[in-house]
């Protein structure tokens, strides 16, 4: 039987086009907003590090160190090592973007400390999702090439599904961290007046990238199910 998925044009690829366009839009949005507000200093003039440190201390999280890391938008909270890492532009910057991203990562640290359920679920399935995202395609392709091993495709789809579920559960985690960030920034007076709008734009654009990743994953999963069903007819 001829499988266009492997040997030629696969018509199911069109399913991915809207998600790909959305992803490109989201990436452009986060880059433009981050770049714009990275050049807009806050009136209070606190650095991302100072904001993160004060917010962590306020929450009683004195044992979480803040490290400066290399890279562009490489900021993250590591729940395994309980370390908050900020890129140089965020760590040292006093801009709206700097304090917004720093407080967002503090939001993740607070989630971890308070046992936020979606975060606990995401952390628990991370090993499976990580393995699934890297190994799924190997199983899927072998299952397509060798019909006698078609069951491997089902395994690959299940592994890919685990990776998609990880993306789905990531959404409430990210939106909640951004909500916490805005409330903390406003409540502690780190941003005021029009700066609030800029902060929401930076965090909103970042959240959009996670929505795009989930949409792409779901579209790809649907496409794989169509391919599997068509080869069994």
145-154 per-residue burial string, b: 16 or more CB within 10 A, e: under 16:
eeeeeeebbe
In degrees, to the nearest 5, what angle opens at C-alpha 97 toward C-alphas 181 and 26?
90
Domain that holds residue 140: 22-44+95-231
Give the pLDDT confidence of 68-123 residue by residue, as tens digits: 999 999 999 999 999 999 999 999 999 999 999 999 999 999 999 999 999 999 99
Short-list 67, 73, 78, 32, CA closest to 201 = 32
pLDDT band at residue 232 using 50, 70 and 90 as cut-offs:
low
**Distances 172 to 41, 102, 219 between C-alpha atoms, Å:** 29, 19, 20
pTM of the complete model beyond 0.75 = yes
Residue 67 annotated in active site: no
High-pLDDT (> 90) share of the chain, %? 82
Tokens of 98: 């700097």
Q: Would residue 7 count as lying in a domain?
A: no
Q: Would residue 49 count as lying in a domain?
A: no
Structure confidence at residue 147 (pLDDT): 74
SS3 84: strand
Active site residue: 50, 58, 67, 105, which one? 105
Q: Would residue 8 count as lying in a domain?
A: no
Structural domains of the chain, count: 1
Structure confidence at residue 5 (pLDDT): 47
Give the pLDDT confidence of 122-149 residue by residue, as tens digits: 999 999 999 988 899 999 889 888 877 7
Give the pLDDT confidence of 20-71 residue by residue, as tens digits: 999 999 999 999 999 999 999 999 999 999 999 999 999 999 999 999 999 9
């Amino acid at each position: 039987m001829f499988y266009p998925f492997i040997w030629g044009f696969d018509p199911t690829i069109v399913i991915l086009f809207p998600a790909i366009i959305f992803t490109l839009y989201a990436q452009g949005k986060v880059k433009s907003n981050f770049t714009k507000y990275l050049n807009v200093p806050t009136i209070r003039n606190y650095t991302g590090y100072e904001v993160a440190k004060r917010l962590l201390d306020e929450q009683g999280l004195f044992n979480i160190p803040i490290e400066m890391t290399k890279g562009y938008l490489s900021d993250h909270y590591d729940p395994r090592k309980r370390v908050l890492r900020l890129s140089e532009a965020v760590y040292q910057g006093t801009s709206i973007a700097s304090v917004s991203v720093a407080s967002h990562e503090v939001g993740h640290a607070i989630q971890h400390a308070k046992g936020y359920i979606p975060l606990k679920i995401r952390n628990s399935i991370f090993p499976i999702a990580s393995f699934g995202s890297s190994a799924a395609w190997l199983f899927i392709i072998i299952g397509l090439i060798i019909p006698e091993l078609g069951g491997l495709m089902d395994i690959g789809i299940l592994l890919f599904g685990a990776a998609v579920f990880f993306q789905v559960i990531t959404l409430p985690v990210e939106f909640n961290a951004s909500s916490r960030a805005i409330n903390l920034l406003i409540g502690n007076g780190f941003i005021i007046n029009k700066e609030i709008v800029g902060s929401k734009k930076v965090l909103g654009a970042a959240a959009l990238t996670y929505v795009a990743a989930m949409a792409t994953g779901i579209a790809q999963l649907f496409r794989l199910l169509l391919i599997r069903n068509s080869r069994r007819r």
